[in-house]
Amino acid sequence: MTGLRDHLHGLWLPLVTPFQGGALDDRSLRRLTRHYGGQAVDGFILGATSGEGMTLRGAEFERLVAVVRDEMAAGGRSLPICLGLSGADTSRLQERLDETADWPIDGYLIASPYYVRPSQRGLLAHFEALADHAAWPIALYNIPYRCAVNITNQTMLRLAEHKNIVGLKDCGASREQSIALLRDRPKDFRVLTGEDANYLEALIDGADGGILLSAHVETAIFAAVYAELKRGNHDAAQARWHEVAELTRLLFTEPSPAPAKYWLWRSGLIDSPEVRLPMVEVSSELAAAIDREIERRRKVAA
């Protein structure tokens, strides 16, 4: 497979991590991989926010990657995999990069340091130290409403000059900042939105794709939005988007990924909607709303 930069476009899925009885559920993970490996998905992110990576132990991370790779090989399709990493200790993250250097992955998605709120100089030094150290390319993850710090465009453009930093998952929550970055970025620096509800808007603004939890559901429609825009069919893209726009809101009504896991469980793709504390399963009210939406979509498809 060629480098991550060449594959960082289109629709990427931040795969949920299925659990059963507190443990990683290999059977459900294989089922998920088979299912989405047959969809119009351009890559997987494993162990990131949607994959509850903050709760995974090192051996579970390794097992997650191994099972997904093995199941893709059995299905005859090879998709790029990025491993989600996060932390507030640069040296500890460098150790994680060493520990995963020989894993069958294609790159990393690394979020800003959380809680400590470093300066822009600190962010620059942090990510450059990681990029210098990493055996695989890095995509940055800017999500200030989770990490309490924003990577400014000035810092981002400096980081984009690093040969081992190839792109960005953009959850900056500022369309103005995103548009300016898309305008000023190097031509080979990839930007994918991570804001599900703003997917169409971001693509119209020039983003290279999306990393979308919501695309666990109606995957083909999310992929079609991107494909129609690439063909210049804006009206068709808008029409497809209208089919899933409300879905992106429903799946974030309560903390993610619990709503998506409940939907996948009700759809038979995973054997349990289990999440790990401090996440909890969806409320009875949201469960009922999701059940109604599943039934509505089944009737429309019939």
Instruction: Return binding residues.
Output: 50, 211
What's the confidence (pLDDT) of residue 2?
59
For the stretch 231-238, contacts whose Cβ atoms lie closer than 8 Å and that sit 24 or more positions apart, written own/partner, are: 234/204, 237/200, 237/203, 238/200
User: Which tens digit of pLDDT belongs to each residue from 146-197?
Assistant: 999 999 999 999 999 999 999 999 999 899 999 999 999 999 999 999 999 9
The set of residues, in sequence order, having a beta carbon less than 8 Å from that of 153 and lying 6+ positions away, is 177, 180, 181, 184
**The dihedral of CA 104, 109, 115, 119: what is its sign?**
positive
DSSP per-residue codes, 125-193: HHHHHHHHH-SS-EEEEE-HHHHS----HHHHHHHHTSTTEEEEEE--S-HHHHHHHHHHS-TT-EEEE
User: What is the SS3 assignment for 189-242?
Assistant: CEEEECCHHHHHHHHHHCCCEEECHHHHCCHHHHHHHHHHHHCCCHHHHHHHHH
Instruction: Return binding residues for pyruvate.
Output: 50, 211
Q: Which tokens hold the place of 73? A: 């090989």
Does residue 159 or residue 78 have the better pLDDT? 159
The share of the chain scoring above pLDDT 90, in percent, equals: 96
How far, in Å, are 185, 204, 297 from residue 181 at the CA level? 6, 14, 37
Categorise residue 39: left if φ over 0, alpha if ψ from -120 to 50, beta otherwise: beta
Q: Contact, 191 vs 182, CB < 8 A?
A: yes
* The one-letter amino acid at 191: V
Residue 301's pLDDT band, with cuts at 50, 70 and 90, is confident
What's the confidence (pLDDT) of residue 1?
47
On whether the pTM is more than 0.95, the answer is: yes
Residue 82's pLDDT band, with cuts at 50, 70 and 90, is very high
Q: Which tokens hold the place of 117? A: 């709120």
The catalytic residues are 141, 169
Rounded Cα distance between 94 and 129, Å, is 8
Query: What is the Cα Rg of the chain in Å?
Result: 18
The CATH classification of domain 3-301, taken from the options 3.20.20.70, 3.90.1200.10, 3.30.450.40, 2.120.10.30: 3.20.20.70
User: Which tens digit of pLDDT belongs to each residue from 231-283?
Assistant: 999 999 999 999 999 999 999 999 999 999 999 999 999 999 999 999 999 99
Does residue 272 or residue 75 have the better pLDDT? 272
How far, in Å, are 55, 102, 259, 274 from residue 282 at the CA level? 18, 37, 6, 10
- Go through the chain and tell me how many residues it has: 302
